[in-house]
Amino acid sequence: MKVVPLGAGQDVGRSCVLVTLGGKTIMFDCGMHMGYNDERRFPDFNYITTEGDFTSRIDAVVITHFHLDHCGALPHFTEQRGYHGPIYMTPPTKAICPILLEDFRKVAIERKGETGFFTSQHIKDCMKKVVPLHLHETVWVDDELELRAYYAGHVLGAAMVYARCGNESVVYTGDYNMTPDRHLGAAWIDKVRPDVLITETTYGTTIRDSKRSRERDFLEKVHRCVLRGGKVLIPCFALGRAQELCILIDSYWERMGLTVPVYFSAGLTEKANRYYKLFINWTNQKVKESFVNRNPFDFKYIKPWSRDYVDLPGPMVVFATPGMLHIGMSLEVFRKWAPDERNMLIMPGYCVAGTVGAKVLSGMKVVEIDQYSQVQVNIDVQNLSFSAHADAKGIMELIRQASPRNVVLVHGEKSRMSYLKSKIMGEFGCPCYDPANGELLEIETGQDVRALMSDQLFQAAWAKEQERRQKSAVSLDDSVVPAATPITQLPIRGVLFLGDGKRPARLLDPSEFDLDDIPVVSASGVEGESSSGEDATVAAGVDDLTLSSGSNQVVFSTRRVFDGTDLAERMGLPSSVDVAAAALLAIRELLLTDTATQPTDVGATRGKQASVVRVGRSIELSVPAKTTECDLPSLHVSWAWEEEELATQVLVVVNRVLG
């Protein structure tokens, strides 16, 4: 599988990731960067082709939600660069996306005087190509490529997308929130076990405090500022955090009996409420229940804003768009109120580098608004995170839910990605990558093996699970109460016999076959020997299965080939050191930290006999001799059937060291 970020690679903004799976190419998101006003605003589409034939190279475009850093370049790509293929997005995103695109187009052309920008007609023509993508509905792009959307929280209509083609699959999260808020639910996904999970990392190093304490802190700061006669500016985007904070302020004003005016500057408020009513099923359960009696988005204390109010005396609270202070009404109000130290600026979300919001949060006291003007920043600046992005804990939870084989980090700063990358590899033992923009990432994907399971093996596993549940049943007054929950997951331990093309693969219980009757099949590049000294029988497969006929022992083995140069750099090894032996030593040191996996024997001799680390009764880790077929460093791991669970723990440590 190939993954290339054209935007949001070690950066926030301009989200655009190309994924090629099963011979099909998908563009996930097509956003613009809010920190630039030149050609860097859009993704580098020339990476795909310089000839303009995008339709033959891209099978589908998928937009996860309506924020401009995820959809802002779409009309440019389709109408000005010539992509005419299908575009997939959820119904709320399809409804709201053109409104935000048109609003941004007006600002860029009418207020900034930019030329060559996409037109209103371009936006309309672009939306005609959109195919609705409903939650949990499988949509077939063609006979091979399928898409399925999952609820992402974040904003109304946001979705994570699962894509599959042949034996390869990927999950692209877009932006998501694992914590429910006052109007949206938490993100959720099935345990789809994709080959690759591509996740945002905006707050990859942050673990937020409780939502209730953040809300209390926010309300106290606002109340304190208006009591001293100051004005409060809260930059936010018209949909999403705006509704969240307005619900909070409106209920607090009613509870406290406050009369200080509260305004909302976005002309989109009325339309926003209409869409929340139309797509009520995308909100949380509390909003759905209260909607029957009263629209929770019809605010009692929040009034429409007029430009004339900016110079009025006395305290007030203003919600103004957009949220990063890069253009629009929020920037105009900030320019007026910034010099007065009685006023307060509350930044509730993330600001992309290069925007006025990012400069103010960095502590700059003189900020350049444009090439002609600067402003003195005396205003009280507060950064209270109400961002609807997952924090580090939420990202780890989503990985746990989806259970991917590989993880790719995007939409975050490189420093934050580095920390999260090591945490993911340590906890889940799966490879993790953080490619930069334009960097091609090629990921090896395993092939699924479909097998027929014998009735005897299934019945034995079912009986074992029932016995385990019976032992863990709760005892009340000497009567045993069995567990009431149904069996939804059943661990199966059997021997896999791969088919020969005519016969399908079979998963059997060891008691169902005679080891002496199994023919010997040689596996190229693998040398096996039984504990009795006789030739081992090897069934070629994903991992090598050795059936030692002399001792009636089923032994599994695998060879882990790895990048020696990368490992040497990470471990700080000189070029003269044997990387494989050093890796084996590092693995041994990690195994020693856990009593369950402590090695029982270590041999350090080199030459004819490779170094060996032994764990338990049968698990062996060794450095095999290099072959003519592969001169890359590798480690050989083998284990007996009886110690498969312990071997799994050992393999997690191996993957953690080798990367």
Active-site positions read 200
Report the alpha-carbon distance of residue 652 to residue 370 in Å, rounded: 53
Strand spans (E) along 342-411: 344-347, 366-368, 374-376, 380-383, 406-410
Please say whether the beta carbons of 462 and 470 come within 8 A. Answer: no
Kindly list the distances between the CA atom of residue 518 and the CA atoms of 431, 523, 651, in Å, as whole numbers in the listed order.
Answer: 36, 15, 28
Structure tokens at 629: 């077929």
Could you tell me whether strands 432-433 and 16-21 are parallel, antiparallel, or unpaired per DSSP bridges?
Answer: unpaired
Distance CA 494, CA 492 (A): 6
Residues 6+ apart with CB under 8 A from 384: 214, 217, 218, 221, 346, 347, 348
CA distance 359 to 363: 7
Query: What stretch of H or E contains 502?
Result: none
Residue 339 CB partners (closer than 8 Å, separation 6+) = 375, 376, 377, 378, 379
Tokens of 305: 């804003």
**Rg of the chain taking only CA atoms, in angstroms:** 29
First to last CA, the chain: 18
Secondary structure (DSSP) of 293-320: T--TTS-SSEEE--GGGGG-SS-EEEEE
* Residue labelled with tokens 């041999």: 603
23 backbone dihedrals φ, ψ, rounded to 5° = 85, 0
Task: Measure CA 199 to chain center.
Answer: 2
Bridge partners, 7 (sequence order): 16
SS3 567: helix
Q: What whole-number distance in Å separates Cα of residue 382 and Cα of residue 404?
A: 38
What distance in Å separates the CA atoms of residue 631 and residue 579, rounded to the nearest whole number? 13
Residue with the two structure tokens 């034995």:
460
Show the DSSP H helices in 482-594 as ranges. Answer: 564-571, 579-591
Which of 389, 269, 277, 271 shows the shortest CA–CA distance to 329?
Answer: 269
What per-residue string of b and e applies to 186-195 under the rule 16 or more CB within 10 Å gives b? bbebeebebb
Cα torsion angle, 196, 202, 205, 207, sign: negative
